[in-house]
């Protein structure tokens, strides 16, 4: 709910793929997350993220097609606040990716 409202999450239950692994999305006070999780009867965040990888397999990068040359360009989805600039490996075209929610 918090992420949908544009706020940071408390427990790290919403994750995204990043560089071959899972990471919690937009987490408030990452240093205190395991204490908050323990108070709610949840295990450590690292164990939860590892469980996601075991259950679903390693995350795959997103793919888009370059408008200039048609080459498939793989990338990890950026967080809401971090636009990602990509260079097409086929033609060098610069592509900016933003996620809107």
What is the C-alpha to C-alpha distance for residues 90 and 16, in angstroms, rounded to an integer? 27
How many Cβ atoms are within 10 Å of 13's Cβ, its own excluded?
16
Radius of gyration of the chain (CA): 16
Instruction: Check whether residue 35 and residue 52 sit in a common domain.
Output: yes
Asked if 66 and 35 sit in the same domain, the reply is no
- Whether residues 36 and 68 share a domain: the answer is no
Q: 3 lies in a domain? A: no
Cα separation, 7 vs 27, in Å, equals 9
Show pLDDT as tens, one digit a residue, over the chain (101 residues). 898 888 999 999 999 998 889 999 999 999 999 999 999 999 999 999 999 999 999 999 999 999 999 999 999 887 766 788 999 999 999 999 887 65
Asked, for residue 5, whether it belongs to a domain, the answer is: no
In a domain, 10, yes or no: no
Based on the structure, what is the number of domains in the chain? 2
Do residues 35 and 66 share a domain?
A: no
Q: Which domain holds residue 20?
A: 15-56
- Same domain, residue pair 49 and 78: no
pTM for this predicted structure: 0.73
């Amino acid at each position: 709910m918090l992420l949908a409202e544009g706020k940071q999450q408390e427990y790290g239950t919403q994750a995204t793929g990043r560089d071959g692994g899972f990471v919690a999305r937009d987490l408030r006070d990452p240093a205190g997350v395991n204490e908050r999780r323990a108070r709610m009867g949840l295990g450590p965040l690292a164990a939860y993220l590892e469980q996601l990888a075991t259950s679903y397999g390693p995350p795959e990068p997103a793919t888009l097609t370059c408008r200039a040359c048609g080459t498939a360009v793989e990338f990890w989805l950026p967080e809401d606040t971090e636009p990602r600039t990509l260079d097409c490996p086929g033609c060098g075209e610069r592509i900016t990716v933003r996620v809107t929610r």
